[in-house]
A and B are shown apart, each in its own frame.
Chain A
Amino acid sequence: NFMLTQPHSVSESPGKTVTISCTRSSGSIASNYVQWYQQRPGSSPTTVIYEDNQRPSGVPDRFSGSIDSSSNSASLTISGLKTEDEADYYCQSYDSSNQVFGGGTKLTVL
């Protein structure tokens, strides 16, 4: 099985841009889609990015996803940060037999 490694926490000021990374331990990041989920305190997760870079309807275009084969990682970028973006963010991907979540990144907007 592979692992997805995320930074434990990141912080940034309102209005700024933040990028959260997600590095795959084995196998190509490009081989299987990456999803990103937002989980606010006390709430269930919601999907903010699916299939590497697609936004579900209702997710603002301040959220974008990308993959970088050279670093075997995926990234979630949030621009124009708002205090409501403060949450835990999880990446997720899969291989032929398993789905894997990253450990989660706590985003603080202050």
Chain B
Amino acid sequence: QVQLVQSGSELKKPGASVKVSCKASGYTFTSYAMNWVRQAPGQGLEWMGWINTNTGNPTYAQGFTGRFVFSLDTSVSTAYLQISSLKAEDTAVYYCADGTTWGQGTLVTVSS
């Protein structure tokens, strides 16, 4: 069945970087764009942007430019989200999602 499996929780210090992975299975990886969504503690869903899985071209939503990078490794059907210069306010659960399937989420905690 179609599945998106994300990497595990991360605890990082301010200023560090983190890379979250999202491995797709059960379908042709390049058939659907991959979206990234953030959910801060106790808050709603916020769209971060998407990456074209055919071309690798990313599109970032307002507020997610500069420190956020989407990338792919199509050889292993995996999408990545990298966040650099982490801040406390980056603490959130990060989800990948294609057309209708969501990953299980990755909690990134930024704390000194």
Contacts and interface: CB of A to CB of B under 8 A. Distances in A.
Give the size category of B's interface with A. 10 to 19
Interface of B: 35, 37, 44-47, 50, 59, 61-62, 95, 97, 99-105
A45 B95 contact: yes
Nearest to A103: B44
B74 to A, nearest CB: 23
B100 A50 contact: yes
Contacts of A69: none
Contact of A44 (B47, B50, B105): B105
Contacts, number: 44
A104 B47 contact: no
A44 B95 contact: yes
Contacts of A102: 44
Given A47-B101, A92-B47, A98-B61, 19 more contacts: A1-B62, A37-B102, A44-B102, A44-B103, A44-B104, A45-B95, A45-B97, A47-B100, A56-B100, A88-B44, A98-B47, A99-B35, A99-B47, A99-B50, A100-B47, A101-B37, A101-B44, A101-B47, A104-B44
Contacts of B105: 44
B62 to A, nearest CB: 8
Contacts of A63: none
Contacts of B61: 98-99
A45 B100 contact: no
Nearest to A104: B44
A43 B44 CA distance: 13
A44 B95 CA distance: 8
Contacts of B62: 1, 98
A17 B50 CA distance: 35
Q: By CB atoms of chain A within 10 A, which of B35, B37, B46, B104 has the most?
A: B37
A90 B102 contact: no
Interface string A80-97: 000000001010100001
